[in-house]
Structure 1
Amino acid sequence: MSPRRSPLGQPIPPSVAATMAASRRRFLQGSLLGAGLLASPTLLAACGGSDSGGGTGAGSTVKFGINEAKGSGPAYDRLKSMADAYAKKSGATVDLNAVDHNTFQENLNNYLQGSPDDVFTWFAGYRMNQLAESGLISDVSEVWPIDGQGDSFKQAATASDGKQYFVPVGYYPWAVFYLKSTFEKKGYEPPTTLDELTTLMAKMQKDGVTPFAFADKDGWPAMGTFDILNMRINGFDFHMDLMAGEKDWDSSEVKQVFDTWKGLLPYHQSDPLGRTWQEAATSMGKGECGMYLLGTFVVDGIPDQEDDLDFFTFPELDSSIGATALDAPIDGFCVAAGGKNQDGAIEMMKWLGTAEAADAANKGNTPLIAANSGADTSVYSALQKKSAEVVGQATDIAQFLDRDTRSDFASTVMIPSLQKFLQDPDDIDGVTKSIQQQKVSIFGG
């Protein structure tokens, strides 16, 4: 068994993954949502009518595909700022192809097999590795080492062949967010144990506040709840083995996770399948809900209230396991093997991993928590500084359920299975039996 992962020092980050070559049971990373299993290849067609021009500087064109629709908010603004800054610095034309987040993820495989952009936004790890093994993304090992990005990020960018296919730009933790003003007004305190959490949730309900904002219309947010409950109840190693297909989904351990979740659901917003995460964030922002388990990107849903946001890590459920494991996904960029300007793409990738690129993203925008330790942290909010600190103190870090397992399993099995559970939480045996049967079919054994 390969060693447990742990953070590797300050100011930022973490060892978020083991080397991809170690063994499949240690694959910690991947991508968001199922990629292209049922997708139309035309939905992500690269924008711009002509082929990318060759070359790397003035006069060349690099097509840049991003997973945020134009005008969708801070995430789009950051990526647009990076594209503009690179174009100005290099003299190249950056042809931006902006696609909404879910469409991008769900159609990625077909996009990469068609006429893809040269550089595109993606995620570290397991499903990056799948794309590498499928020959859909290009080896970018020549970009490494990157000044300001240490071994932890290089490991997260490394596929099973030992080569790098990814350049990190930022990361964020999942935690329980709340408004400081709401907690101060009501006299609430962040809990550290299940008993304290239960007491807090009961008090919130008595005060007419729904304890947890909750949404799963897009299919992936509920995965974060499963992740944290499994890591708190069964431990980090069990969770990662489960993601790798090496544990049974109909086991007593997994059933305990769902049973615990069932007990917590009455404290969550009802009908989550009809609500987006942004709508749930708005509910918390209005004081209708007291807390929200989500990534730091929750601020994008209520940007005017960032100064009022704070968070705590989900409390321990078993004192022998503790509360030091968490999800902290890494975002960044890959080069499409089918892109027409490979040289220009590599040059852009060299820049995207720099502190200068992170600073360009953060200038005038809600900042991302940069992977590059040389980035200007003076622009960080208190929330972001705390996020970096919490991730740095974690003992074990996962990427996220749909980044930690196979794309087909995440999209075709886990999304509908978790949504079925949310619709009928009494049928735990049926849900876990169904997941296990499909897991065997996909993973084998």
Structure 2
Amino acid sequence: MSRPRSQAEYLARLVPPSVAGLHRRSLLAGTAGAGALLGTGLLAGCGSDSGSGSDTKTVSVGSNASDPTPKDVLAKLTAAFQSSSGIQANINTVDHNTFQENINNYLQGKPDDVFTWFAGYRMRFFAAKGLAGDVSDVWGKLSGFSDAFKKASTGDDGKQYFVPASYYPWAVFYRKSVWQQHGYQVPNTLDDLNALGAQMKKDGLNPIAFADKDGWPAMGTFDILNLRINGYQFHVDLMAGKEAWTSDKVRKVFDTWAGLLPLHQPDALGRTWQEAAQSLQQKKSGMYLLGLFVAQQFNDDEQDDIDFFTFPEIDSTIGAKALDAPIDGYMMARKPKSEANAKKLLEFIGSVDAANIMVKGDPGTLVANSGGDTSGYTALKKKAAELVGSATEIAQFLDRDTRPDFASTVIIPAFQQFIKDPKDIGGLLTSIENQKKSIFTS
């Protein structure tokens, strides 16, 4: 899935239009929780509260796959499921943004038996609220998923509530021809990265392409630095409001980031991610930390010239195996009309057969099941799949790993202020922590 193209689209995806333009104080006053921000209306679910006793040969699917390609893929998935199981899957498709805006009320009403959603914090939030069904027994029948995918599908209680379908990783992208021309080597440590950046400057390049006009790209930089410096568990706990932004650990992340800013493309707040990607494509920048969708900004005959590496190690005791790789997939309602049918569908969605349908139907997707036939993948996609397959932990990106209101109303302006003036880190972190307390206790 591509990232939003503008700040307005980003906010539309993150929070409902009815609250996106409000002053933060007004927003917080009317927010009873992350779900309240996500839901202002009721999706037209087809499920019921009749529990798991029904033996009907149908199952309903609430879907945010409103774009033509993913919508067609889901139709093919459910058709194949019906053919193999005899169970008819009825799809209730809702506009992608509308689905997210209304998810809370939808799940508290009469949702479909199975619904599309996201791994990580957003999955755990609804699982903890008792608004999702335990699918641990489905996981007992699945194969082809790494431990990192399973961890991203696991709730706070240690049970699984999510079946992954597709994903895309974040990494540091570069043009092979540029690196070959200058003899650059992939950095293994932060010192290596700083030395490489210094050399790129001498060679007349922007070492690291950078853009944050739309607010979300800098989240990826913070994520990877926090993962490398403090590890996965601290990162997800910080995102969940369980750790203090004023801690020495977070301060070290910002100190490290401040040290790297001189290597980043200047004037980032006036530049979109597409423009930064074009500077890489035009051989004006040497590297770019972004999602796999960066390839969209390259011509067809340049695709083979794109390569990447995972962000280098900073602390040898933590290593460089964790990364951001947002995962899309499916969950089960807390009381599906037929729990048995819902779990059969989820088992099918997690199968190799389903992965092959997704690969064939959407060449742009990376399937989560490693058993899928990826022979048609480009070299870049094959390497991306190998990277995620070898990850020890998978974070979901900051705006999915924390409360949407915190990401949009606190983190975006705070990170942009830091990029503009990185001197007062202490004051910035105190401000973030104070606002976090207000939001997470609301």
TM category (shorter chain) comes to 0.7 to 0.9
Q: Are 2:43 and 2:99, in contact at CA under 8 Å, matched by a contact in 1?
A: no
Match for residue 154 of structure 2 among 143, 155, 158: 158
> Within 5 Å, which residues of 2 pair with 1:160-309?
160-273=156-269, 275-300=271-296, 302=298, 304=300, 305-309=302-306
Deviation at 1:342, TM superposition (A): 6.8
2:117 matched residue in structure 1:
122
- Root-mean-square deviation (CA, aligned residues, Å) is 3.8
1-structure distance, mates of 2:349, 2:222: 33
Q: Which residue of 1 aligns with 2:104?
A: 109
Q: In structure 1, the residue corresponding to 2:187 is in which secondary structure?
A: coil
* Contact kept in structure 1, 2:59 and 2:113, CA below 8 Å: no
Q: Which amino acid aligns with 1:436?
A: E
Q: Shift of residue 423 of structure 1?
A: 3.5
Distance 1:231 1:40 in 2: 31
Q: 1:360 aligns with which of 357, 362, 366?
A: 357
1:226 Cα deviation from its structure 2 partner: 0.8
Equivalent pair of 1:41/1:111 in contact (CA under 8 Å): no
Query: Identity of paired residues, percent?
Result: 55
Q: What pairs up with 1:372-391 in 2 under 5 angstroms?
A: 372-391=369-388
Q: Which residue of 1 aligns with 2:75?
A: 83
Distance 2:269 2:55 in 1: 47
CA distances 1:343-374 after superposition (whole Å, capped 9, x unpaired): 76544323211111111111153354433232
Structure 1 or 2: more helix by fraction:
2
- Report if aligned partners of 1:81, 1:360 keep a CA contact under 8 Å in 2: yes
Distance 2:237 2:273 in 1: 28
Query: Helix, strand or coil: the match of 1:378?
Result: coil
User: What residue is the counterpart of 1:317 in the other structure?
Assistant: 314
1:70 aligned partner: 67
Q: Which residue of 2 aligns with 1:6?
A: none
Please give the per-residue CA displacement for 1:256-295, whole angstroms capped at 9, x wherever unaligned.
3212222322333445455554454344333343222123
TM-score by length of 2: 0.74
- Partner of residue 41, structure 1: 40
Aligned-partner residue type, residue 109 of structure 1: N
In structure 1, distance between residues paired with 2:409 and 2:190: 32
- Stretches of structure 1 lacking an aligned partner (at least 5 in a row): 1-31, 72-76
Over 3 Å counting, the alpha-carbon distance change for 1:251 and 1:357 in structure 2 is: same
Question: Is the CA contact (8 Å cut-off) linking 1:183 and 1:189 kept in structure 2?
Answer: yes
Q: Is the 8 A contact 2:211 2:276 kept in 1?
A: yes
Say whether the 8 Å CA contact 1:86–1:351 is kept in structure 2: no
Partner residue, 1:21: none
Q: Give the drift of 1:406.
A: 4.8
Consecutive unaligned residues of structure 2, counting only runs of 5 or more, are 1-12, 16-33, 49-53
AA matched with 1:428: I
